Amino acid sequence: MEPILDETSLVPCPEWPPGARLRALARTLKAFDDLGAPRVLRAVRDAPDRDIGAGLGMRQWCFDRATDRDAGRLLASRLGKVAYIDGPGGLYALAEGDGVVEAKAGGVAVQGIGLAAMGDDLVAALGRAAAPAGGTVAVSLAILDEAGERGETQEVQRFVLPEEVEAHRAALVERIDRSVRDGAALVGRVAELFPRLRFGPRAAQQLSALRGTETVFRQLLRHLRALDRAAATWTEGAPFEPGGITYSVESQATLSDGTFGPMRDFPPPSGFEPRRWSLHAKLTGGAGARLYFRPEATAQGPAVLIGYFGEHLPTALHRT
């Protein structure tokens, strides 16, 4: 589920200066980032050079003095990354598979939002007077494959402003989480999905082994998101209180037990001191998995370390 640039929005707009349009687009992409979307911007090959004002394309406007420096750098870095949507072997052709798909919006052939109509991608667009905000657009698909010829229409949501992303936060988070198909994808994408989480080696190994079909997998994503969100406002020395999940601390009897205590000595992420783990989230379903975590202050800001994910470990109560 990758952000796609709607190339039909790459047109001049006298009423809205290019610098302001690019800043809004950059803020929208940052809003996608905050939800855990991949930090890319897929586009057609000539997108950076299409005229959006004064005969210049995004490539030139990104470095113009009239454009916010940070916004320009963010967009320039993402526009330069392959893969492209169009052309042989492009993302559109891959989505077509063995068939042929013609996508149109308002009678005009489209590839960016056409690709989104065939999949489940996010669509960002440059604002303009004719479309100062996002909204849905109907994309008609004419499909020709081994099953014959048919047509269908898909509604595609376009985002122009970051406030629109926030208004659809819950639905977008659900879509992004659905794109995480298994544990390997979770571990590989953790930096973008949950930027404040750090996996220890044991936790990373346990999470990587998940197939994505487990009863607790979607619940696990919700717990990880709650921990990441709580870290955003946590300060060292204050209670760490992730909302929306069930969690507790290990009893002192268990932590000091000669057998059960060392079972909580999970290896921390690289660069962090070993410590016996106590805080753990409780997941329902299956065997009742546990997720051991602890907040830490770092030079880059608050983080949550993850030491263990797996079955419920025995406690001092097992001795009674």
Q: Can you give the pLDDT at residue 221? A: 94
Higher pLDDT, 200 or 286: 200
Percentage of the chain exceeding pLDDT 70: 98
Average pLDDT over residues 175-200: 94
Q: Is the pLDDT reported for residue 222 higher than 60?
A: yes
Which residue did the predictor score with more confidence, 286 or 153? 153
Residue 215: its pLDDT value, please?
Answer: 85
**Looking at the predicted structure, is the pLDDT value of residue 287 above 80?**
no
pLDDT tens, position by position, 115-174: 999 988 999 999 999 888 889 999 999 998 887 898 999 999 999 999 999 999 999 999
- Section 92-121 average pLDDT: 91
Beta strand pairing call for 135-145 and 148-159? antiparallel
Q: What is the mean pLDDT of the chain?
A: 92
pLDDT in tens, 63-84: 999 999 999 999 999 987 778 9
pLDDT on residue 238: 93
The Cα diameter of the chain in Å comes to 79
Mean pLDDT to the nearest integer, 178-202: 95
Q: How confident is the model at residue 98 (pLDDT cuts 50, 70, 90)?
A: confident
Structure confidence at residue 146 (pLDDT):
82
pLDDT exceeds cutoff 60 at 293 = yes
Q: Report whether pLDDT(286) > 80.
A: no
Q: Domain locations in the chain? A: 3-171, 181-319
**pLDDT at 320 (0 to 100):** 53
* Residue 314 pLDDT level (bands cut at 50, 70, 90): confident
Kindly state the average pLDDT of the residues 102-116: 93
User: Considering only 46-60, 138-152, 231-245, 277-291, which range has the smallest mean pLDDT?
Assistant: 277-291
Q: How many other CB atoms are found less than 10 A from the CB of residue 179?
A: 17
